[in-house]
Amino acid sequence: MEFASMTTSVRTGRFSAQRRFDYRRLVTVFDSYVQTGRVDLAVRGRGGGGPRPVGGDFVALDATWEAEMGRRGLAPATREAYGRVARSYLVFLERRGIAVLDGADGASVLAFLESLLDRWARSSLFWVVSNFRPFLKFTGRADLVNALNLAGVKRFHAIVPLLGDADEELVVRACASGVVSARDAAITLLALTTGLRACDIVALRIGDVDWRGHTIGIVQQKTGNPLTLPLPALLLGKLASYVLDERPSSGDDHLFLRMKAPHTRLNDHATVHRVTVETFRKAGVAEAKAGTRLLRHNAASRLLAAAVPLPTIAAVLGHASEESTNLYMSVDRRRLLDCVLPVPEAVRS
């Protein structure tokens, strides 16, 4: 009961995953010191990669798949996503008494997907299937791949709401006025004005910023494509303030570092999400789901509303295909209405 009460947010009065994580980390540090005599300040990720198989054959298969993903040069976030769902399937098989892949059949794939609905929304299964398919192809089991295709999971294209003009002004004003740190202001403005993905923000290095040219140049984590984006004056100023006044002294050349020791790169996209959510809260915008997905969608929609051509928007967002940009047309209500044909006179009442 005492631990449960310690994980309650003082501000909201509700359970706080962050406080639970912090207390668990504190316990780990103390336990490590008692056992080894050293203070272990190594960065720990959340979740630990999910459950792992314990049987010899599946452990070896998991290790072989990890090595193959490394050989293919997949991005760390991609390897994590592919590896997690593959291990979840192997653990699922073990719980059904199957210790080798030869004992699995197509029905096990469908049953695995069905089991995920206890904790996944059906609309999210598309991402599970996308991350699962490469592993099944790697195993050479065409029957398992065919079963995955038979599941018929479709991608769900939700219409993400736009950030209102008044709310956007509040966020920009908060970033400009010093209500939030220069680091958090720069991260939020990057997501808001450039539409950068969270994984690209985390991967930014100091050398990626062209201070004289007012641009950043990166190679996208998701697509591997190069991308150069302009930096508005406010954003550039916040980046400069962070680097000169706030950024901890560190041998790590990543642009954004942890505020707490060890001063290494931000852990993952969840860190960026926490930064933007906190910035929105301090700006007085509490209702918006202030993740980088919303901000990326908002940046694209603003460009579309300004009559910027789709190929240009695709280039700014770093889309590998212009087709990916078509989703943003769903929120341009005024122009969509222009496409509606008038009701013929003969059928009007």
Q: Per residue in 292-317, pLDDT tens?
A: 778 887 887 777 777 777 777 777 77
Q: For a pLDDT cut of 70, what percent of the chain falls above it? A: 84
User: How many domains does one find in the chain?
Assistant: 3
Report if pTM > 0.95: no
User: Within 13 A of 93's CA, how many CA atoms are on the CB side?
Assistant: 24
Tell me: do 317 and 227 sit in the same domain: yes
- Locate the DSSP E strands across the chain: 209-210, 215-219, 226-230
Decide if 156 is inside a domain: no
Taking the CB of residue 297, how many other CB atoms lie within 10 A of it?
22
Query: What are phi and psi for residue 324, nearest 5 degrees?
Result: -65, -25
Q: What mean pLDDT is predicted for residues 116-134?
A: 85
- CA-CA distance, 311 to 277, in Å (whole number)? 30
pLDDT at 298: 80
Residues 66 and 186 in one domain: no
The confidence band for 217, taking pLDDT boundaries of 50, 70 and 90, is very high
Which residues lie closer than 8 Å to 34 by C-beta, 6 or more apart? none
Specify the pLDDT at position 215: 93
Question: Residue 170: pLDDT above 80?
Answer: yes
Please report the pLDDT score of residue 104 as a whole number.
Answer: 95
On whether both 133 and 258 belong to a single domain, the answer is no
Structural domain boundaries, residue 26: 2-36
Q: What CATH number did the domain enclosing 290 receive?
A: 1.10.443.10
306 or 249: which leads in pLDDT = 249
* Band of pLDDT at residue 241, cut at 50, 70 and 90: very high
**325 versus 278: which is more confidently predicted?**
278
Instruction: Determine the pLDDT at residue 159.
Output: 60
Which is more confident, 217 or 16?
Answer: 217
Same domain, 132 and 270: no
How many Cα atoms occupy the beta-carbon half-sphere of 248 within 13 Å? 15
CATH (domain of 78): 1.10.150
